[in-house]
């Protein structure tokens, strides 16, 4: 029943595109988050690659006023690991999870509020091929103990629904954005936070939140704009459940998660580039410390 309801919601979002004037491919955004370019480690929420394709009316420069007018088709690959990939049986550590996600989302703005709603099919397990990719990458780095991959989380699919609501306050070149979001599915949580953006001129273009780090990454840049901007942000989430930390693995999720982040962005012509760092509090009770994850993101406007 839950799957049917979520698929119906997805059909409604895409149906708005079919009934309206023709949509075109507006741009592409690619984001890579990795703790190696953060704290220099290779552990826990180790690496993600997110790719998004944006469709809407030609020459769209800002968020539309209705859902269905700007559609994001997105894919995500994530590698979630224990702290030490060489140990045969990590003690009190999280299990390995290879994650592949495919989804659709729509984004809109009315007045000083912005909203996003999305639906994703999140796949976990060996059949995603993520563990094979990481094994290949690590042939050029340190080896992965095969017993860790043999004991990874089994194959499963989680329909996941997400929603975000934000208020936008602008004063000159500063933009303050308090927000709340919620997710039901592979991880179920509610979250509240705030983002601050500073630049010489008011922020332009469309930016969206990276699901792992919370960074406001490039989506659609107004062509011809040239600007350097800085961003700060923080949020806290209450986590009700996580398929990445099942009770059967004797790892207890931390009920609260905190993220702190900072980033710098540069817009030039059709390109929009971001580099940021985010600190993440422990996600399970026996995680000995938090971690710092680096984010590199590039948006290209067509």
Rg (Cα) of the chain, in Å, rounded? 19
Give 79-101 as a DSSP string.
Answer: EEE-S-TT-SS-TT-PPPEEEEE
Question: Is the predicted pLDDT of residue 253 greater than 60, yes or no?
Answer: yes
Does residue 6 register a pLDDT over 60?
no
Residue 1, pLDDT above cutoff 50:
no
- Angle ∠(1,72,133) on CA atoms, nearest 5: 85
Domain positions in the chain = 24-301
In this prediction, residue 269 has a pLDDT band, given cuts at 50, 70 and 90, of confident
In eight-state DSSP terms, residue 13 is: H
Contact 217, 202 (CB under 8 A): no
pLDDT in tens, 22-55: 789 999 999 999 999 999 988 999 999 999 999 9
CATH topology for the 24-301 domain: Lipocalin (2.40.128)
pLDDT at 70: 96
- Phi/psi of residue 275, each to 5°? -130, 130
Question: What is the pLDDT confidence band of residue 206, given thresholds at 50, 70 and 90?
Answer: confident
Beta carbons of 71 and 104 less than 8 angstroms apart: yes
Task: Kindly tell me the burial class for residue 41, based on how many C-beta atoms sit within 10 Å of its own C-beta (0-12, 13-18, 19 or more).
Answer: middle
When pLDDT is averaged across residues 281-288 and rounded to a whole number, the result is 95
Which pLDDT belongs to residue 2? 47
Residue 5: strand, helix, or coil: helix
Q: Among 8-17, 131-140, 267-276, name the one with the lowest average pLDDT.
A: 8-17
**How large a percentage of the chain has pLDDT more than 90?**
70
For 2, phi and psi rounded to 5 degrees?
A: -60, -40
For residues 19 and 99, the model is more confident at 99
Task: Give, in degrees to the nearest 5, the angle at Cα 105 between 229 and 292.
Answer: 45
């Amino acid at each position: 029943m839950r799957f049917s309801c979520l698929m119906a919601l997805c059909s409604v979002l895409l149906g708005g595109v079919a009934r309206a004037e023709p949509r075109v491919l507006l741009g592409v955004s690619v984001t890579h988050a990795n703790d190696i370019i953060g704290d220099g480690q290779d552990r826990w929420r180790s690496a993600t690659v997110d790719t998004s394709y944006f469709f809407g009316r030609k020459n769209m420069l800002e968020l539309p006023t209705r859902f269905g007018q700007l559609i994001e088709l997105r894919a995500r690959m994530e590698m979630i690991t224990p702290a030490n990939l060489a140990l045969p049986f990590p003690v009190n550590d999280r299990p390995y999870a290879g994650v592949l996600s495919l989804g659709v989302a729509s984004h809109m703005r009315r007045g000083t509020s912005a909203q996003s709603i999305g639906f994703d099919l999140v796949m976990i397990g060996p059949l995603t091929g993520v563990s094979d990719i990481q094994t290949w990458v690590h042939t050029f780095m340190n080896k992965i103990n095969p017993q860790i991959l043999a004991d990874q989380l089994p194959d499963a699919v989680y329909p996941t629904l997400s929603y975000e609501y934000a208020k936008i306050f602008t004063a000159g070149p500063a933009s303050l954005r308090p927000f709340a979001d919620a997710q039901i599915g592979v991880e179920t949580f509610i979250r509240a936070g705030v983002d601050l953006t500073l630049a010489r001129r008011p922020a332009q273009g469309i930016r969206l939140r990276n699901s792992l780090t919370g960074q406001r990454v490039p989506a659609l840049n107004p062509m011809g704009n040239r600007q350097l901007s800085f961003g700060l942000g923080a949020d806290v989430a209450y986590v009700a459940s996580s398929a990445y930390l099942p009770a059967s693995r004797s790892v207890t999720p931390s009920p609260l998660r905190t993220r702190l982040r900072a980033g710098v962005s540069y817009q030039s012509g059709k390109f929009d580039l971001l580099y940021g760092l985010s600190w993440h509090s422990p996600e399970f009770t026996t995680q000995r410390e938090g971690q710092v994850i680096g984010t590199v993101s590039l948006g290209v406007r067509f």
